[in-house]
Structure 1
Amino acid sequence: MNINFALNLIQEQKLIMTQEMQMSVKLLQMSAYELGQYVNKEMQENPVLEERDLQNPKNNNTETNEYKEIIKYLEKDDYKIKNYSAKSESEEVSPFYYIAQEKSLKDYLVEQIGELTEKPETLDICKYMVENLDAKGYLSVKLSDICKELTISNEQAENALKIIQSLEPEGIGARDLRECLKIQLYNLGNNDENIYKIIEEHLELLAENKYNIIAKELKITIPHVQKYVDIIKTLEPKPSRGFYTGETVKYIVPDAYINKINEQYFISMNEDMLPKLNINSMYKEIIKNGKDVEAVEYVKEKLNSAMFLIKSIEQRKNTVYRVLEEILVVQKEYFDNGDEYLKPMTLKKIADNLEMHESTISRAIREKYVSVNSGKVIKIKDLFTNGIASVIGGEDISTINIKSAIKEMVDTEDQKKPLSDQIICNRLNIEGMNISRRTVAKYREELQIKSSSKRKRF
């Protein structure tokens, strides 16, 4: 065995991300809502941070000067606030735009159970079942398991389940999709055996649009099957829809506002989404006195953390602002005239124009929104689309416009003779959109439009 203990000098290049760099990246890709949550948490954990007193601007200037002195003392760069156009605080603009804040499904069901005149033990079983409903509103636990857990008979469990399934919304408490649909049909007073057979035995064929096989099995005509399918499609497969089930509550907080004034667009960064951060001047004395070494080191650490947070937030705003400025240049026609004028625009194009890395642009637009003149809230990411070369005119066409054209064709087609992907492809090519049949199929699937064979009506 030959063991060599020689020293070798190797030159290599490595990118090492410091903890501060990692935090800057993390803050950049946070949504406005996430950032607000994070800042509030930091204010609770870092005693040096405090909210600026907006009622006393003179006092704010004093405090700003004081913590600049502290940072100077710590041999750090002065904190310089960049100027951003911000919405006036007198304007009545709520920072929160709600996608959905649904009423709790379980609370709604418990309210209904509270109005029943059943025995207390029966109502307790019902409430227990409500606690075992899944996100769709189905009972996710077997009745036999509930009987064991509560030491009750199968008859008691069946009775309680029947009560649950009689509540609103219809279909609640079903144990699977088939039972959910049948409960709703029963409540509608529909007693047709054929429609129950389709649900019980032929749901897979229904999903495949194989109406001819269903018709053959039930010994009825294809148009009759179509009528049954139309009824089934009116039923709700997810009874919990419209209620809060604990999965998500989403908030949209726009990072900026884009307003058109005298034919010119102005970007206003949303200053309402975060508390106005300041450094608590009380800690200046602790550092200046310097008697308690441990206290001084603790304050220095917290000051560094606070200053880094403030600088990172300003840097985040600056990056988002610059990206929006560049988007406005590229997409001015879109902001003037609407969706049809959205141009193909990639991360690379914006990154090259701003001399930034694509990953920086990607983080800067992640889960971020802007509010435009009309109050419409736009997801910034939706403004980025690839383009398809146009045969006519030479300009690239946005994929959103192509998808819109595909959807319009399908919406206006003869449902007895739905358009195939090839026919759609041919029509798009005639209109100057250079696109293949495979790409048409891809966009159709992204639009959640079924194939022509599954769209056909009889």
Structure 2
Amino acid sequence: MQMDLKLNISQKQKLILTQIMQQSINVLQMSAYDLREYIEKEFEENPILEADFNLIESKDNIDNTQLSKYLNDRYDENYNYQHNNEDEASVFNFISDKKSLKDYLYEQLGEIKSDIKIKKVVSYMIESLDSRGYLENTLEEICSDLGIDGEKVQNALEILQSLEPCGIGARDLKECLLIQLKNKGILDEIIKEIVLKYLEYIADCKYNYIAKELKITPKEVQAYGDIIKSLGPKPSRGYYTGEEVKFIIPDAYIVKIGDKYNVIMNKDIIPNITINNLYKQEILNGKNKKEVEYVKEKVNDAMGLINDIEQRNNTILKLLECIVKKQKAYFENGQEYLKPMTLRDLADEMALHESTVSRAIKDKYILTSRGTVKIKDLFCNGIVSSGINGEGVSTNTIKNKIKQLIQLENKNKPLSDQAICDLLKKEHIDISRRTVAKYREELGIKSSSKRKRV
């Protein structure tokens, strides 16, 4: 076997990201909250930087008096809005203080008259609760850890489970529900059996099956199911559990003055960054070479940060101005008027790379007359309707129509996906049954068989 070794030289184009480019990309994709933390960290590490927090600077063509009145009339002066990814807006999203769930439990425990040793076991259990308010350790493990008998641990568990919020200290979902039912005084043998044996069937609304098993009517099962579904699966919900809460800080305001929508960047979140003049003089007059090199390095870092922030703001401003033009009907009339718009559409119009647009809108929010809106939520694919004008309809609009149809349906005979599909076609929205099913599932709405009421 003969081996022929040759040396070939080839030329390839390859993009190598420098440290400066990487920092610029990172700053662009930071949320306002993260950017503020990043700037504070830079101030701690770079003595060259100086900061001056100024009021909002608006464009020259906007009346400052009108703008000030608009903002003061509508929004809190701190512009801080709490964000919760798990739940829709509720009173629990705006907890007034940071008294933790454990603090609340200890307060109640202090008012209970019981043996001091039992109270110490309860305290141990409180410290063993997970983020849902469930007791992670088994009773056997607690006995072993504390070196005590099972009777004391059982007594401690009963005390813990008697505290508020109801369901605290449960070992699993079923026990959590049973504690709540007992507390409400509605724990009979039938509902207890449903919780212990048929919880999954209740979730799927299989009332007929449960009715046959328990020898009661489907309507009775449905009534029990409604009670069970009204209970809370997480006792800790609404209480601070020690996890740091992040706040939504809008990067910009969309303000309508007269007939025009204006984009106002939120300058309050970022200080006016400058370079300390004393250090500039150090470079010009410094005699110690090492000190001069150090100062030069820090000045370069500071200039890089200032440029990155300015570039970030300019990119976001231009993107938002483009979005406002495209989505004026949305800002005027609401969600149903959101037009199809993709990252590619915006990237092509602004002569930017799609990834740049993606980074620029990542975790960014705007404050509008309709509330705080995630910029990403203004993007959606479109489906061409079968109407005369053939205009595109956004997926969000279609989802809203599906949701409305289901809300208005006869609960005894829920609409099938095909029936919804047929109704949408009458409105010149031509989509398949499978697409209807997909959007319905994305909305968290169950199938017609599981929505049926007896």
* 2:156 aligned partner: 160
What is the rounded CA distance, in whole Å, between the counterparts of 2:61 and 2:252 in structure 1? 10
The runs of at least 4 consecutive aligned structure 1 residues that moved more than 6 Å come to 1-5, 81-91
Q: Contact conserved, 2:54 with 2:271, CA < 8 A, in 1?
A: no
Aligned length, in residue pairs: 432
Q: Which amino acid aligns with 2:260?
A: Q
Query: Helix, strand or coil for the counterpart of 1:244?
Result: coil
The change in CA–CA distance for 1:5 and 1:391 in structure 2 (over 3 A counts) is: closer
Q: Which amino acid aligns with 1:354?
A: M
* 1:283 aligned partner: 279
* 1:97 aligned partner: 81
Query: Helix, strand or coil for the counterpart of 1:268?
Result: strand
| Structure 1 residues 113-159: Cα deviation after superposition (integer angstroms, max 9, x where no partner) | 12222232222221211111111111011111111112222111111
The change in CA–CA distance for 1:425 and 1:32 in structure 2 (over 3 A counts) is: same
Query: Helix, strand or coil for the counterpart of 1:272?
Result: helix
Q: Equivalent residues in 2 for 1:72-151 (5 A)? A: 92=72, 93-99=77-83, 100=93, 102=95, 103=98, 104-151=100-147
* 2:384 aligned partner: 389
CA RMSD in angstroms comes to 2.2
Query: Helix, strand or coil for the counterpart of 2:211?
Result: helix
* 2:90 aligned partner: none
Deviation of 1:418 after TM superposition, in Å, equals: 0.7
* 2:231 aligned partner: 235
What is the rounded CA distance, in whole Å, between the counterparts of 1:160 and 1:84 in structure 2? 68
**Pairing 1:15–2:15 present:** yes
Q: Contact conserved, 1:97 with 1:253, CA < 8 A, in 2?
A: yes
* 2:86 aligned partner: none
Q: Which amino acid aligns with 2:294?
A: Y
Query: Helix, strand or coil for the counterpart of 1:95?
Result: coil
| Structure 1 residues 268-327: Cα deviation after superposition (integer angstroms, max 9, x where no partner) | 110000222111122123222332222111111111111100100000000000000100
Deviation of 1:3 after TM superposition, in Å, equals: 7.2
Q: Contact conserved, 1:101 with 1:250, CA < 8 A, in 2?
A: no
* 1:43 aligned partner: 43
Deviation of 1:205 after TM superposition, in Å, equals: 1.7
Q: Contact conserved, 2:121 with 2:156, CA < 8 A, in 1?
A: yes
Q: Contact conserved, 2:54 with 2:268, CA < 8 A, in 1?
A: no
Aligned match of 1:347 in 343, 346, 354? 343
What is the rounded CA distance, in whole Å, between the counterparts of 1:140 and 1:84 in structure 2? 60
| Structure 1 residues 201-220: Cα deviation after superposition (integer angstroms, max 9, x where no partner) | 11122222221221111111
Comparing 198-207 with 116-125, which one deviates more in the overlay? 116-125
Q: Contact conserved, 2:275 with 2:302, CA < 8 A, in 1?
A: yes
Query: Helix, strand or coil for the counterpart of 1:216?
Result: helix
Q: Contact conserved, 1:257 with 1:269, CA < 8 A, in 2?
A: yes
The change in CA–CA distance for 1:362 and 1:52 in structure 2 (over 3 A counts) is: same
What is the rounded CA distance, in whole Å, between the counterparts of 2:135 and 2:425 in structure 1? 51
The gaps in structure 2 that reach 5 residues or longer are 84-92
Query: Helix, strand or coil for the counterpart of 1:266?
Result: strand
Q: Which amino acid aligns with 1:446?
A: E
Aligned match of 1:436 in 424, 432, 435? 432
Query: Helix, strand or coil for the counterpart of 2:50?
Result: strand
Percentage identity across paired residues of the two chains: 55
What is the rounded CA distance, in whole Å, between the counterparts of 1:255 and 1:348 in structure 2? 22
Q: Contact conserved, 1:101 with 1:249, CA < 8 A, in 2?
A: no
The change in CA–CA distance for 1:84 and 1:206 in structure 2 (over 3 A counts) is: farther
Q: Contact conserved, 1:82 with 1:314, CA < 8 A, in 2?
A: no
Deviation of 1:231 after TM superposition, in Å, equals: 0.9
* 2:296 aligned partner: 300
Comparing 312-321 with 256-265, which one deviates more in the overlay? 256-265
What is the rounded CA distance, in whole Å, between the counterparts of 2:254 and 2:354 in structure 1? 23
Comparing 161-170 with 143-152, which one deviates more in the overlay? 143-152
